[in-house]
């Protein structure tokens, strides 16, 4: 669903004069390279980007800190007459290459933003090997040198001048696309210099490419770039080349560099907004060159090879001793080649999806978004590329989502499997298996060095939960087999830090790095994982070795399911017997039994059956409130909770069961009537839509659970066609709360604005599954 956003620039700008202004969360689109990602505003400013990977400190931080110039990092390109500019933004079809347009009375311009995938040129979207444990996958980012520009139409994935890829590039590079390469003998010689080629390949390994062009008319543009290092705690120097077309920002302590080069703009230093640069240029359709390219490269200290150079400087310029402070030969041609290759990679990637339903555009965009959240080196998938975008403006519930959540990953696996993107599901499964192996090794080391006490549920941390006995067999004391959160490298988080230098999104403090939810006891993750494994095994059978590890998890659940936990809401101060966790404990046993029977794996199935039945009866006895006529959030409570919708989705209870019908009907009421639904959007629980006593603000609806309710209505549609029509209308309504490029954050506020981290893995995974299930019924 193409939704071009048309926004007058006067409502939100990134100029120095208004640098403290932060755009709305929904004003951003995402680009990435499966190592990290960047949020690009509809007004042409990159206001959030971490290099070199997702959980690194942000070099551009304006989205989460705009109160002081020293901590407000951004990279903006916009017309000088920004107040008279109308902006539009969209992705190039079926890709993660972004186009931002500037519309003025005197002309139309656009900037094309993307992050090169080093393997894109050579893979054309194929995924390579399937990780099955042991060795991380690195194929996507195996850099093969780019040494030649495209020399003929046969070299291009699309050479027809009417092709949309060709039309993306205008001006002098149209000749390139038509096979008339604008190359001189000098350029050809330069492009074959080994040193320059090696340097270029290094420069694109962690980079953003921005191609600014004039569509028609003429426009004066302004360019501003001000990075921050180490959360604004580390000062940096600014070096500008003699021709003023290249600038190197160098962190004084760490030595990391950020290099910006452009074939046309001339830069100068500015201290107006921290230690940055500013430049200007005019583009006209009458120019021989109708575009210019900005290559922004991040180079860590240990990747740098300093060389001695000679050069003259002036009072503003210093190029001595830094090989990066120069414009690279063939910059325009090489980056254009990368653009075509990157588009081709993404288009070939999405072609693997077998979903052809009526919501194809939304599903494809969600699949492309999920792929951007994957850390290709290990196969991990993060919950969100952002940290500390608030659940409530001005509140304190601002968390770091740049990590691997076991729960979120299982939902993503389901989404990939539903659309036949099995390679991506396999990568996540491979990461999980390596994590389990690592946990087993760590637990064995601890068991050999210390005595492990049995669990005291009310006081235990994740690492202290032990299995004591399982049925008739004695199991050596063992800690929890997995954590709920890991870093993208596969290690548990061990800290959380509040960044005092950052002011937060619209002064929503604190900005956090790390996440203490890793200390929670969340027993539901075992059910979610076993459910995903069962689905995955139907596509690619799992190994016996993995089964042995899963069997230990089942035994862990058998011993601990009666204990309270923190469950899906991860409230660190709220242990309870959550019905959601009990249902997922049942799911863990149920899926393990099914998997063992399907594959004839050795297992104490009879013992597992008895435990599964015991959990079921316990939930039916203690989880249903007869007075309210509904299941409730936790045993003994009166709170209605949207997570109860999981029951029919995992086949715990039939959609036609009277208790389930009553629960769904109660949830699917307006808040003023005691329900959780407003305009097809769903609140977490009965208390949330009232005044928040902690923050004195009101929390919005959770997009993920809106799609859960839609799925439940879809199931009900098998018996009641009115419910199916309601589900279809609900999908359309929920979709209107995505932004102009069909992306979702975690939460939608009362005013329809986005809240919470952006983009959100669970929301897009839930959209995909809901769309697939609904499409099957409305053909």
Boundary residue ending a domain (312, 332, 350): 350
pLDDT, tens digit, for every residue of 11-24? Answer: 333 333 334 589 99
**Higher local confidence (pLDDT), 440 or 146:** 440
- As to burial, measured by CB atoms within 10 angstroms (0-12 exposed, 13-18 middle, 19+ buried), residue 452 is middle
pLDDT the model gives residue 455: 37
C-alpha separations of 432 from 413, 482, 549 in Å = 11, 9, 11
Residue 600 — pLDDT band, cuts 50, 70, 90? very high
**pLDDT higher than 50, residue 142:** no
pLDDT the model gives residue 687: 55
CB 473 within 8 A of CB 173: no
Boundary residue ending a domain (313, 332, 350): 350
pLDDT the model gives residue 122: 34
* 389/506 Cα distance (integer angstroms): 9
Whether 471 and 329 share a structural domain: no
pLDDT the model gives residue 710: 99
* 73/70 Cα distance (integer angstroms): 8
Residue 139 lies in a domain: no
**Higher local confidence (pLDDT), 357 or 173:** 357
pLDDT the model gives residue 270: 87
**pLDDT higher than 60, residue 760:** yes
CATH number of the domain residue 624 falls in: 1.50.10.10
**pLDDT higher than 50, residue 529:** yes
For residues 219-240, give the mean pLDDT: 96
Q: What percent of the chain has pLDDT over 70?
A: 80
pLDDT, tens digit, for every residue of 639-689? Answer: 999 999 999 999 999 999 999 999 999 999 999 999 999 999 999 987 544
CB 147 within 8 A of CB 122: no
Please state which of the ranges 85-94, 117-126, 407-416 shows the lowest mean pLDDT: 117-126
**pLDDT higher than 70, residue 155:** no
Residue 2 lies in a domain: no
Domains: count for the chain: 2
For residues 87-105, give the mean pLDDT: 99
Whether 211 and 240 share a structural domain: yes
Bridge partners (DSSP) listed for residue 706: none
Whether 316 and 366 share a structural domain: no
Which helix (H) or strand (E) segment holds residue 59: the answer is strand 58-60
Whether 569 and 540 share a structural domain: yes
The DSSP letter of residue 666 is: H
Residue 337 lies in a domain: yes
CATH number of the domain residue 173 falls in: 2.70.98
Angle between helices 658-667 and 703-716 (to 10 degrees): 140
Residue 133 lies in a domain: no
**Higher local confidence (pLDDT), 398 or 470:** 398
Residue 141 lies in a domain: no
**pLDDT higher than 80, residue 450:** no
* 74/170 Cα distance (integer angstroms): 27
Whether 40 and 153 share a structural domain: yes
pLDDT the model gives residue 443: 86
pLDDT the model gives residue 194: 65
The DSSP letter of residue 634 is: B
**pLDDT higher than 80, residue 470:** no
Boundary residue ending a domain (306, 330, 350): 350
Where in the sequence is the domain holding 318, given as residue range(s)?
A: 7-121+146-350
Using the structure block, give the residue that is written with the tokens 């601002």.
398
What is the maximum alpha-carbon separation in the chain? 85
Residue 627 lies in a domain: yes
Of 648, 653, 619, nearest in space to 634 by CA? 619
Whether 592 and 695 share a structural domain: yes
What's the mean per-residue pLDDT of the chain?
85
**pLDDT higher than 90, residue 304:** no
Whether 690 and 672 share a structural domain: yes
Whether 165 and 271 share a structural domain: yes
Using the structure block, give the residue that is written with the tokens 């004591």.
468
Residue 18 lies in a domain: yes
pLDDT, tens digit, for every residue of 233-268? Answer: 999 999 999 999 999 999 999 999 999 999 999 999
Using the structure block, give the residue that is written with the tokens 């002081």.
68
For residues 60-72, give the mean pLDDT: 92
Extended strands (E) in 451-602: 467-470, 473-478, 485-486, 496-498, 512-514
For residues 303-311, give the mean pLDDT: 53
pLDDT the model gives residue 468: 35
Please state which of the ranges 329-338, 339-348, 438-447, 692-701 shows the lowest mean pLDDT: 692-701
Extended strands (E) in 80-200: 86-91, 98-104, 107-114
pLDDT, tens digit, for every residue of 168-213? Answer: 554 433 333 333 333 444 434 444 456 778 889 999 999 999 999 9
* 188/150 Cα distance (integer angstroms): 11
pLDDT the model gives residue 344: 97
Residue 137 lies in a domain: no
pLDDT the model gives residue 7: 53
Whether 282 and 426 share a structural domain: no
End-to-end Cα separation, the chain, in angstroms: 19
Task: Specify which of 112-121, 462-471, 474-483, 601-610 reaches the highest per-range mean pLDDT.
Answer: 601-610
Question: Count of H helices and E strands in the chain?
Answer: 18, 31
Whether 373 and 345 share a structural domain: no
3-state secondary structure (DSSP) of residue 748? strand
Whether 552 and 667 share a structural domain: yes
Which helix (H) or strand (E) segment holds residue 746: the answer is strand 745-748
C-alpha separations of 752 from 173, 244, 678 in Å = 42, 44, 11
Whether 554 and 448 share a structural domain: yes
* 79/171 Cα distance (integer angstroms): 19
């Amino acid at each position: 669903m193409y939704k071009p956003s048309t926004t007058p620039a006067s409502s939100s700008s990134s100029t120095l004069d208004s640098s403290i202004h932060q755009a709305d969360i929904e004003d951003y689109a995402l680009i990435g390279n499966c190592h990290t990602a960047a949020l690009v505003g509809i007004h042409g400013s990159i206001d959030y980007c971490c290099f070199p990977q997702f959980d690194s400190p942000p070099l551009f931080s304006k989205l989460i800190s705009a109160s002081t110039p020293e901590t407000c990092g951004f990279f903006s390109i916009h017309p000088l007459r920004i107040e008279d500019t109308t902006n539009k933004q969209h992705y190039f079809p079926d890709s993660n290459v972004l186009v931002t347009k500037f519309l003025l009375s005197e002309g139309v311009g656009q900037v094309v933003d993307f992050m090169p995938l080093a393997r894109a040129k050579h893979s054309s979207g194929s995924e390579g090997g399937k990780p099955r444990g042991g060795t991380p996958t690195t194929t996507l980012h195996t850099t093969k040198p780019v040494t030649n520009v495209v020399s003929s139409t046969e070299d291009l994935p699309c050479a027809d001048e009417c092709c949309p890829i060709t039309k993306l590039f205008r001006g002098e590079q149209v000749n390139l696309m038509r096979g008339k390469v604008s190359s001189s003998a000098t350029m050809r010689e330069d492009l074959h210099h080994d040193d320059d080629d090696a340097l270029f390949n290094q420069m694109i390994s962690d980079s953003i490419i921005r191609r600014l062009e004039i569509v028609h008319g003429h426009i004066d543009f302004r360019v501003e770039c001000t990075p921050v290092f180490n959360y604004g705690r580390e000062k940096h120097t600014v070096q500008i080349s003699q021709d003023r077309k290249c600038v190197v920002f160098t962190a004084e302590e760490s030595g990391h560099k950020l290099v910006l080069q452009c074939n046309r703009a001339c830069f100068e230093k500015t201290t107006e907004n921290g230690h940055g640069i500013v430049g200007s240029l005019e583009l006209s359709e009458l120019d021989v060159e109708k575009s210019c390219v900005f290559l922004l490269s991040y180079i860590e200290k240990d990747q740098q090879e300093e060389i001695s150079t000679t050069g003259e400087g002036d009072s503003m310029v210093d190029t001595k001793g830094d090989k990066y402070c120069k414009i690279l030969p063939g910059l325009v041609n090489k980056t254009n080649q990368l653009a075509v290759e990157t588009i081709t990679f993404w288009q070939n990637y999405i072609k693997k999806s077998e979903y052809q339903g009526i919501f194809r555009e939304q599903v494809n965009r969600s699949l492309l978004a999920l792929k951007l959240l994957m850390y290709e080196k290990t196969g991990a998938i993060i919950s969100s590329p952002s940290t500390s975008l608030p659940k409530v403006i001005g509140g304190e519930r601002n968390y770091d989502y740049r990590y691997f959540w076991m729960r979120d990953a299982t939902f993503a696996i389901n989404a990939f499997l539903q659309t036949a993107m099995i390679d991506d599901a396999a990568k996540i499964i491979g990461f999980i298996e390596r994590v389990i192996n690592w946990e087993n090794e760590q637990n064995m080391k601890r068991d050999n060095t210390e005595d492990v006490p049995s669990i005291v549920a009310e006081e235990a941390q994740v690492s202290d939960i032990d299995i004591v006995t399982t049925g008739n067999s004695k199991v050596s004391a063992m800690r929890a087999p997995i954590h709920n959160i890991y870093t993208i490298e596969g290690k548990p988080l061990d800290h959380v830090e509040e960044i005092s230098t950052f002011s937060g999104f619209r002064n929503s403090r604190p900005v956090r790095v790390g996440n203490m939810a890793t200390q929670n006891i969340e027993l539901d993750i075992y059910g979610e994982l076993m459910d995903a494994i069962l689905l995955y095994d139907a596509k690619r059978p799992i190994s016996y070795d993995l089964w042995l590890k899963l069997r230990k998890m089942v035994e862990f659940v058998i011993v601990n399911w009666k204990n309270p936990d923190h469950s899906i809401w991860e409230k660190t101060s709220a242990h309870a017997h959550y019905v959601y966790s009990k249902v997922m404990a049942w799911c863990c046993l149920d899926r393990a039994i099914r998997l063992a029977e399907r594959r004839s794996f050795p297992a104490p199935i009879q013992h597992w059956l008895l435990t599964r039945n015991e959990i079921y009866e316990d939930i039916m006895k203690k989880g249903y409130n007869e007075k309210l006529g509904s299941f409730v959030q936790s045993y003994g409570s009166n709170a209605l909770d949207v997570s109860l919708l999981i029951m029919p989705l995992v086949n715990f209870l039939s959609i036609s069961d009277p208790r389930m019908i009553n629960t769904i009907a109660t949830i699917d009421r307006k808040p003023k009537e005691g329900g959780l639904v407003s305009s097809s959007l769903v609140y977490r629980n009965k208390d949330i839509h009232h005044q928040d006593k902690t923050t004195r603000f009101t929390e919005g609806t959770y997009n993920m659970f809106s799609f859960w309710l839609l799925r439940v209505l879809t199931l009900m549609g098998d018996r009641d066609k009115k419910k199916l029509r309601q589900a279809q209308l609900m999908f359309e309504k929920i979709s209107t709360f995505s932004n102009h490029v069909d992306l979702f954050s975690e939460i939608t506020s009362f005013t329809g604005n986005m809240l919470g981290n952006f983009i959100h893995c669970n929301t897009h995974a839930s959209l995909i599954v809901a769309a697939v299930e609904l499409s099957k019924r409305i053909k």
